[in-house]
Amino acid sequence: MNRRDFFRSSVVGGAAALASAGAEQATGEAARPNVIWLFGDQHRGQALGINGDPNARTPNIDALASFGVNFTGAVSGFPLCCPFRGSLLTGRYPHHVVPGHEYPLPEGQPTIAHVFREAGYRTAWFGKWHLAGFKEAEGRSALRVTTEAQRGGFETWVGYDNNNSQWDSWVHGGTGKEAFHYRLPGYETDELTNLLIRYIRERGAEARAGKARPFFAALSVQPPHDPYVAPAEFMARYNGERLELRPNVPPVRRIVETARRDLAGYYAMIENWDWNIGRIVQVLREEKLDLNTHLIIFSDHGDMHGSHGLFRKTNPYEESISIPFLIAGEKMRYSGRRTGRFPVRLNHVDIAPTTLGLCGISKPAWMQGQDLSWLRLAERQPGSEPDSAYLQCVVPTGHPDSINKAWRGVITRDGWKYVCFENVSWLMFNLNEDPYELVNLAHNPRYRAERRKLIERLKQWVADTGDRFAVPSD
């Protein structure tokens, strides 16, 4: 081929490729977007590289955050698995749906899956559910079957109610002759990711066959919830003695030793989760679904790991209530997508309305949360940011090394937190100057005026959400 023929073929081929790309782009813009939830359990909001944690290795999540929106003020309004998940799926506060540990999703309660299915979407759930109401004390939940009526309206459901054993994880699904129940062949996060990847490839095949339908899928993994173990290649990268503890971990030997031991596995699990998210992103690209699929990455609550001498969750400290929350994927910023860090007080009840909003679906009247999708979609009319988020522990759980008492609280957009027991003020912090919550102002008369403002806002939250709780007057 001479030089002239080479350039002629290059121009023709390039024009054909551009035409094909343009047609594909036009089709993608006309198509309704897909959306995937990717969330772990007990992954605190501070534990990402992008959020400044010196111990965390999360390059895939960090890259997605750079191309998307990072809600640095996101919270788990009830930092416990079951209540959070009830609010996640329904957009309703825990005292209306799932008020405590091992409480079931109420029979007949509609969820986000029902709304998506009514809009013509495929829906799929993979992984931890924890809404069937099984009592672990009565037998291992992973070996019991969540009935079709208890699966929240998802078209495809492959999961378990509760497990807490990452190398011995069982999943079930289907009904009748199509029912199945089997042990995953490897580490839970890896194997559940494999199931989602297979689902994504099936959706890609449908698209190539001209039979595409938009889909909403959720991948719910148990890690980095305890026990804190990960595949050996990830565990090998973390030595607890070399990890940097948060400044609010007291220098008490048993607390420090436990925190360092647990954190080594915790960060290994987080890095493994990040690696699996990278696998999902790559498959979306291979299936040419990446530019039409929103990714929402979050967690159900955090983990104390020794801060304030506490472990696990169920308390209102930052390590317990702060969660990662990122919206990424789909189009880039040049196509009308906002990027950056937003200290918005997004709460658990806001996730379902925001997810629907990303897909152009209005939230139903029964959802109490707020649609914040406009913070990602630049073409949307800007809405109002929440002035605060409502915090709760409705039914105490008895979990050790935390707070076994009902409480209510409020955390504000301008950086104040107030929490009370019934008729008694408990905690108050100015997070702007005291992010590690070392100075409790709840009984300091110098801050009485600010405290009273916070108390009035909390009383309004109780009333607006239909809750019942005796908030103190001071």
In a domain, 3, yes or no: no
Same domain assignment for residues 342 and 374 = yes
Kindly report the pTM of this predicted structure.
Answer: 0.93
pLDDT band at 17 (very low <50, low <70, confident <90, very high): very low
User: What's the confidence (pLDDT) of residue 184?
Assistant: 98
Residue 19: inside a domain, yes or no? no
Residue 361 lies in a domain: yes
Domain of residue 416, residue span: 406-464
- Has residue 44 been placed in a domain? yes
Residues 359 and 455 in one domain: no
Q: What percent of the chain has pLDDT over 70?
A: 94
Dump pLDDT digits (tens) for 272-323.
999 999 999 999 999 999 999 999 999 999 999 999 999 999 999 999 999 9
Same domain, 71 and 178: yes
Q: How far apart are CA 109 and CA 36, in angstroms?
A: 22
Instruction: Judge if 63 and 186 occupy the same domain.
Output: yes
Distance (Å, rounded) from C-alpha 83 to C-alpha 76? 10
Q: What confidence category does residue 157 fall into, taking pLDDT thresholds of 50, 70 and 90?
A: very high
Q: What is the pLDDT of residues 48-102, one digit of tens each?
A: 999 999 999 999 999 999 999 999 999 999 999 999 999 999 999 999 999 999 9
CB contact at 8 A, 411 and 389: yes
- Looking up residue 431, the CATH number of its domain turns out to be 3.30.1120.10
Per-residue pLDDT tens over the stretch 389-413: 999 999 998 888 999 999 999 999 9
| 1 pLDDT above the threshold of 80 | no
Instruction: Reply yes or no on whether the pLDDT at 23 is more than 90.
Output: no
Average pLDDT over residues 132-157: 94
Q: Are residues 378 and 276 in the same domain?
A: yes
